[in-house]
Amino acid sequence: MRVYFDNAATTPLDPEVLKEMYKVMENHYGNPSSIHSHGREARTLVEKSRKTIANLLHTSPAEIFFTSSGTEADNTAIRCGIVDHNITHAITSRIEHHAVLHTLEAMEKAGIIKLSFVNVDEKGNVDYDHLETLLKTNERSFVSIMHANNEIGTLSNMDRIGDLCEAYNAIYHCDTVQTMGHYRHDLGKLKTHFLVCAGHKLHGPKGVGFLHINHRIKIKPFIYGGAQERNMRGGTENIYGIVGLAKALEMAYAEMEQHQAHIQGLKSYMIGKLVDQIPGVKFNGETDADKSLYTVLNVAFPEMEMADMLLFNLDISGISASGGSACSSGTDIGSHVLTAIGASSSRPSVRFSFSKYNTKEEVDFTVNKVRELCLVNA
């Protein structure tokens, strides 16, 4: 058996999405910026996809801008949101994705901003009182806090952060790469200024994403070139990817409750099996269904010999997962997320992340293999 439990890294492309993309590849090769019929056909596909996404998210198509990835969307929001609005102070957490952390750290190093880190607890929960203090005691701030952590799955409260940002006139950017297509986002009600998606996290294609820019905020382009994306993002649109992304999100919304129940069931089942079969096992981040992303389970295994070989041995056993351990020194290349929440550096941690395609049989197979490895290395 070969098991894929690394869906937080990327998901398999849905066959229905592939069919939609193939039709476009085969029949619509025009440049959407061209004015002839081939170009107009391509432009129609792009705008139809934009409208589909906007309708699902309860926003205007004019607020959806296609990008090459979630990373590009994050960089656009952060760099342009800060520079174009003369922001000199930013707030984030130490458990953000590197697309956010490295961008903000580079801007601080360049002297553009002062960077503050909001406290998080041992489960990765944001300290909202501390966030308010940071907002209250600094100039107008740029706030970047993700919806769900990609390593440990802990959720932030977007409504609460939005209310705080509104109260202190802050700009709110939220990386929703891990939750888009898994939760319903009503952008007509959320108080985000920027929101980010990557197609390959929801059974869509790689190489495409989008940035939602609320009409209340204006920025200049991050990438200059042509007049694509209403003069906001130079570069010929990835028509096949855009069509695939729209189809994937449409399917995710249509099947969301069914898939959520299935995947949450797998996660709960795996938690129970691990606790029952591996003494001393713990979990990083929240595991309660209302506080944790249902697709992610981060497991801290007991101390063992050859801990650094656990992922390799899982791979040899037919299981694809990801993870590592907290950094034990400044030179370690470990998980910055696990380090930030104070996880033990002596415990090997593995992130198992699920999709609609996973089964209980795969969970049983995985837990049995992990148990064998723990016994061998005890």
Contact 5, 369 (CB under 8 A): no
| Tokens found for residue 67 | 């990008």
- Residue 244 gets the label, from left (phi > 0), alpha (psi -120 to 50) or beta, of alpha
- Residue 169 gets the label, from left (phi > 0), alpha (psi -120 to 50) or beta, of left
The DSSP H or E segment spanning 115 is strand 114-117
Contact 156, 145 (CB under 8 A): yes
Place of tokens 């497991």: 299
Distances in whole angstroms, Cα of residue 305 to Cα of each of 5, 350, 368: 24, 16, 18
- Supply the DSSP symbol for 14: P
Place of tokens 């939220």: 174
Active-site residue (options: 165, 174, 197, 327): 327
Burial of 41 (0-12, 13-18, 19+ CB in 10 A): middle
Contact 302, 346 (CB under 8 A): no
CB atoms within 10 A of CB 39: 15
| Tokens found for residue 129 | 């009182």
| Tokens found for residue 303 | 């101390």
Whether 327 is catalytic is yes
Residues forming a β-bridge with 197? 210
Range list of H helices, the chain: 15-27, 37-57, 70-83, 98-109, 128-136, 158-167, 228-231, 239-254, 256-277, 310-316, 336-340, 360-377
Q: 3-state class of 298 per DSSP?
A: strand
By annotation, the residues acting in catalysis are: 327
